[in-house]
Structure 1
Amino acid sequence: MGARAEHRAEHRVEHRAEHRVDTVDYHTAGEPFRIVLGGLPPIPGDSVAERRAIALGAGGSATAPRPGALDSVRQLLVREPRGHAGMYGGFLVPPDDEAHLGVLFWHKDGYSTACGHGTIALGAWAVDSGLVPAPLDGTARVRIDVPSGRVTALVHRAGGRTTGVTFRNVPSRVSALKLPVTTSRGVVEVAVAHSGACYASVPAAALGLAVEPGQLPELTAAGREIRELLADAEAVVHPTDPLLSGVYGVVLYDELPSEGGELRQRNVTVFADGQIDRSPCGSGTSARLAVLAAEGRLAPGEVLRHESIIGTVFTGQVLAGGDPLAEGVVTEVGGTAHRTGEHRFLLESGDSLGTGFLL
């Protein structure tokens, strides 16, 4: 063996990885979604919801997950230098019964019960990877078990390519339409809806703000404040599952001029501990659809054009049947997802930063 070959062999030994994680990354309307394909420890539990509860730990919360091998992988992927505070993703797990796949959604603060933009990305990946057969032209149905229940991704195809995904959410129910909340910017009326996760929505103008990138620090602060003020409100308690209770996201929105008969709004959703959804927020869009239906502003089949703070768009509608103030309504939210990369992340033995850091 020559000197150069010996050097290459030594180099490989020096950089032997302690742990390896394989992912495929997508963005849905600008919001990242990192799908973990390999490198996970066993995830115990008999259902997707139970696996999330175990990941959180007995008596834990979404912002205080139990330390362990699984959470170390989450930290590795969401922290710098391999990720960032705005990263979002999912661990693939077995479905509860006859779905195509199950998923545990995660972000920098823990594990969420729902993720619309992630569902759109998973639908695209399931078809594009060949996991779920799809026609060259037409629509494939991808059934996904998430912690809040069964959702379906309708993956639209043309010429052998995925052109868009519409996800059908669990029923969305409104628990308050005009809940007064006293903020540092005055009293505002908040609507609260449960759509796989609990969302509070407020017109940005009521806070003296507009959904513009230049006002993002003020919007983030307002969203965090409203979330904290609603912590003990009866409206944020889920009627059947305490793990679905508590405000997950605050949707701050602007009204936009109607175009072609479509209702238009722009929003920024502040979720978890001050994270910003770059997309129009899929589950948050479901919540807005239920609120608009309860207000009598959106009839079944009518379209909401929902823009994000970066200008990307989801479209949504309420399906016929159901009551947004009682058992809830079924919503469909559509958008696009695109693959951004395939990654093999390494944690080398002796790396003093370990699973990384957050700034």
Structure 2
Amino acid sequence: MSQLPQRRIAHLDMDAFYASVELLRYPELRGTPVVIGGRSNHQPVLRPDGTRAFSLLRDYAGRGVVTTSTYEARALGVFSAMGMMKAAALAPDAVLLPTDFDSYRRYSRLFKAAVAAIAPHIEDRGIDEIYIDLSDHPDETRVLAQRIKDAVRDATGLSCSIGVAPNKLLAKICSDLEKPNGLTVVSLDDVPQRIWPLPVRKVNGIGPKASARLISLGIETVGQLAAAQPTLLQDHFGLNTAQWLRDVSHGQDSRPVVTSSEPKGISRETTFERDLHARHDRTALSEIFTRLCTRLSEDLTRKGYAGRTVGIKLRYADFRTVTRDVTLPLPTADAATIRRAAGECLRRVPLDQRLRLLGVRVSALVPLEEANQPSMGQQGELFPA
């Protein structure tokens, strides 16, 4: 029996994408800590001598959250979804810039078009990352991956990191191993040496809570997870999750690269770095929720869909999950409309416990050109006191 050829799946992740786009606009900030986000307008001011004056994080007042940060700011402990005031305590001299999603979307289109010209079998995973099936491409793997990286830089002026592996799971892990501007290629034979020493949280799908639970069982690395007794994992995670944990720890993943499909629904969700309370962390949650709705709207528009059913997903600190949805009179891809409908769903669930995950979904999809999308007006409070 002939052996099936091994797949070559690449995961391409733009390096600190939003921040890198801003550094193209403000090259004098290269090499310095820069934080993007917050509620207020922090546009740089042009001085009479032609130089620019930038706002500093120490001067920020409010309860906004960080959208992203440069690697220099990350080295100081500032990461996305962190509260701005906490970030200011860690990096008071970091430059603060507002977000510019129009620019980020434009550069996203540019880098994806550059990749498609070389390797067209692409699965779009968001504004700054894609999977690419390279299995049928004639070029040698490293040569091809470098061609793609060079094409992205030529088209955008930005760097990206690429991981190439036999499946999507390993490719995504590897794209993060040598950031920024990394190129990592692994085979299944490399899993014990390259993957097993990594912390379990490096596996996509093992969030902070699951990682903490594994660590409490003495399982800190992927290798320790691979060696764990199946009964131990089943007792603490259930049969299905235990089997998934076993599979991923051995680098096994059969998911295809989906280049085109008719989705039943499109969703965005995030697992928090720490559990958040609907009342005590109200401002941060509202900003995260708005960002989820905005990015979901962007996903819908980019993929050419609108939907009538808007839903939410909440996971509490005790891992209980609840969902709610509402069906609108007309399909929509509008961010404000999605946010308003999702807010209605939120009011139908208890918000007296801490939350570890928040998600938004739009389903009952139709092609965007068939949709009539009236706006539902201003955004309201989503996390009442």
Higher strand share: 1
TM-score range, shorter chain: under 0.3
Q: What TM-score comes out, normalization by structure 1 length?
A: 0.26
Quick one: higher RCO (CA 8 Å, sep 6+), 1 or 2?
Answer: 1
Q: What TM-score comes out, normalization by structure 2 length?
A: 0.25
